[in-house]
Structure 1
Amino acid sequence: MRLFVTLNFLPCSVFPSPSFPYTTQEEESGVIANHLTKHFSSSCYLSTFLLLIMSQRTLLIPLSSFFIAHLLISGAVSTTFTLTNKCGYTVWPGILSNADAPALSTTGFALQKGESKTITAPASWGGRLWGRTYCSQDSTGKFSCLTGDCGSGKLECSGTGAAPPATLAEFKLDGYGGMDYFDVSLVDGYNLPLLVVPQGGSGQNCTSTGCVVDLNDACPSELKVTSTGGESVACKSACEAFRSPQYCCNGAYGTPDTCKPSSYSEIFKNACPRAYSYAYDDKTSTFTCASADYQITFCPGPNTSQKASQETNSENTDTNTNTPLINSTMVYEGALSQNGASPSLYGSVLGSHVTAAIVSFTVAIWQWRQLF
């Protein structure tokens, strides 16, 4: 009787990480996929068959054992996004999945003041979420929004993204090294405050990010988007406003060496130091977590909740007169402690590989014993 056991786990994460930077701004290139999918490939494990050759017969152990082992080492098979509206008005979130990612259960909905909604995303999902404001339906039933409109003519965005300017939360789940990559981007401009807080994740760079201040009143006049009543409701990026290569980081300015922060992008960066302010603002603006869920809050701060509503009830008064322009000490709700207790990216990946070997070997022994 001969017994041959072949176990092979080849982590794709051993290959070097693609390098930065991004090539162009998304609105100029027409590429819908967000920043993160351009640079981080999905992690994977290539598991070979377990062969038991006994008495000149070859028995194939069911692959389900290995699928179970993979799920155990890969963390959660899905991620939840809990969207909460702390604004003093209704926000209409929009969702766009990347071209290579499945669509979620909804692509657009209304979120009343104080309301929350939880959405489940499958492993390796990538895409973006944002809030639409000043939305209404005309006499023909066409739905549209003054900011963040996705152009579908309906409540659901159905595969179309936000028209700039819009504050974006971008995600690539289970990316390079098995980590989630996420950011809050003002590259397409700003329309309302937004905060992303990881829940239950790990990693040295697993912390909250966002833009929690109201930039609409502080927006330079040449970048302002105003309502019919003259109120500032959004703030364009310099790229969107002027269409210049030096602001859009394309053409002769298509590299990080040639495209530098502008006086306009620095307005965004000073107010929201952890948000993307222009296309090559990578070092301080991309965050990573392992096995996290995410809380996404519109108008998280006490001074950002009373803007951009078409509702006329008495609660919608302006309390933003004291909103600071400079926000170098942004409050990160739910952030990890600063004692460095979180495991490093390397430690997390190495630990998962060791766990893979142990779990797979245990499954193989159990299956082998059942044959006797």
Structure 2
Amino acid sequence: MDLPFSFPVFAYFSLTFLILSAGVYGATFTFVNKCEYTVWPGILPNAGSPTLESTGFELPSDSSRTFTAPTGWSGRFWARTGCNFDESGSGTCDTGDCGSGQVECNGAGAAPPATLAEFSLGNGGGQDFYDVSLVDGYNLPMIVEGTGGSGMCASTGCLTDLNRICPTELRANGGGACKSACEAFGSDQYCCAGEFNSPASCRPSVYSEMFKSACPRSYSYAYDDPTSTFTCTGADYSLTFCPSSPRYPRSLKFVFFCCD
């Protein structure tokens, strides 16, 4: 880059830093725990994406923690509940356990049922894609909100406590989680597998429709894309566990509950 002799050295390095940062840092993710109990979030990068600062950590009630992810990063987040870890960090969780036997998940995903937030960050100013999925069941309420981005950047997630309305045949962990029909029954029809492995052949079930009615913007089954995947460009994101409805503006509550 040819610069005039009078161009300040500090300004040059500041400009260089901003250019490099724009190509490296994709988004920050802030985890917020509004539950009345401690949760242990888990983080699983997709194949080809780097590990973030942690793969699993303790998040006490009314606390938060922020991570930075590079452009192009993709992966999923969830919260583990009912965990019991000793001083060495060894233990297990009642819901969302990743099977590592430790606070850190170390490349392992959540055992269903668990509420999942899934992200795919854009490269070079491209769109981010994100959703909150109940395809692997549900263990607690969660919402995702984007700030500072352009485009639709809609909030999404599930404010409803599905454990309270979970059918008996889907209940897990003593009522602390709600299975998907696929997990509960294992049939191709519910799992969108075999001859049902297409949008045309795999249709909503009475169970996925129950999830969808309670949480209109969350994935309720494998081919629930049109009303469940959202996009934003250049945003940072917050993931709130057990969000309290009154602290969100009326417009957001309208988005979640007005329409199927």
TM over 0.5: yes
| In structure 2, distance between residues paired with 1:98 and 1:132 | 19
Contact 2:44 2:76 in 1 (8 A): yes
1:213 aligns with 2:160: yes
2:185 pairs with 1:242: yes
2:49 matched to which residue of 1?
101
Moved over 2 A (4+): 68-78, 137-142
Q: Which residue of 1 aligns with 2:228?
A: 285
Change (3 A) 1:225 1:176: farther
Q: Tell me the equivalent position of 1:330.
A: 256
- Which residue of 185, 196, 203 corresponds with 2:133? 185
Shift of 1:76: 7.0
Aligned residues: 239
Aligned equivalents of 2:146, 2:255: Cα separation in 1: 19
Counterpart of 2:216 in structure 1 is 273
Q: In structure 2, what is the Cα distance between the partners aligned to 1:119 and 1:331?
A: 30
Amino acid aligned to 1:87:
C
1:241 CA displacement? 0.4
Match of 1:353? none
Residue 169 (structure 2) aligns with: 222
Q: Which of 87, 94, 104 is equivalent to 1:146?
A: 94
Aligned-partner residue type, residue 218 of structure 2 = A
- Partner-residue secondary structure (3-state), 2:83: strand
> Unaligned 5+ residue runs, structure 1?
1-49, 51-67, 304-326, 333-372
Whether the aligned pair in 1 keeps the contact of 2:42 and 2:79 (CA below 8 Å) is yes
Structure 1 segment 76-95 matched on structure 2, within 5 A? 77-95=25-43
CA distance in 2, matches of 1:211, 1:222: 21
User: For the residues of structure 1 that align with 2:80 and 2:116, how far apart are their CA atoms?
Assistant: 11
Q: Distance in 1 between matches of 2:125 and 2:198?
A: 26
Q: Structure 2 unaligned runs (5+)?
A: 2-15, 247-252
Tell me the TM-score normalised to structure 2 length: 0.85
Equivalences for 1:4-83 in 2 at 5 Å? Answer: 71=19, 77-83=25-31
How far did residue 226 of structure 1 move?
Answer: 3.0
Give, in angstroms, the shift of residue 142 of structure 1: 3.3
Q: 1:170 to 1:248 in 2, by over 3 A?
A: same
Distance in 1 between residues matched to 2:111 and 2:220, nearest whole Å: 17
Contact 1:71-1:77 at 8 Å conserved across structures: no
Indicate conservation of the 8 Å contact 1:183/1:209, yes or no. Answer: yes
Identity of aligned residues (%): 59
**1:272 touches 1:328 (CA, 8 Å); kept in 2?**
no
1:94-152 Cα deviation digits (max 9, x unpaired) = 00000110010100001000000001111111000000001003699631001000000
Q: Give, in whole Å, the separation in 2 of the partners of 1:133 and 1:117.
A: 17
How far the C-alpha of 1:302 sits from its partner, in A, is 4.8
TM-score (normalised: structure 1): 0.60
Please tell me whether residue 110 in structure 1 is matched to residue 58 in structure 2. Answer: yes
Query: What is the letter of the counterpart of residue 300 of structure 1?
Result: P
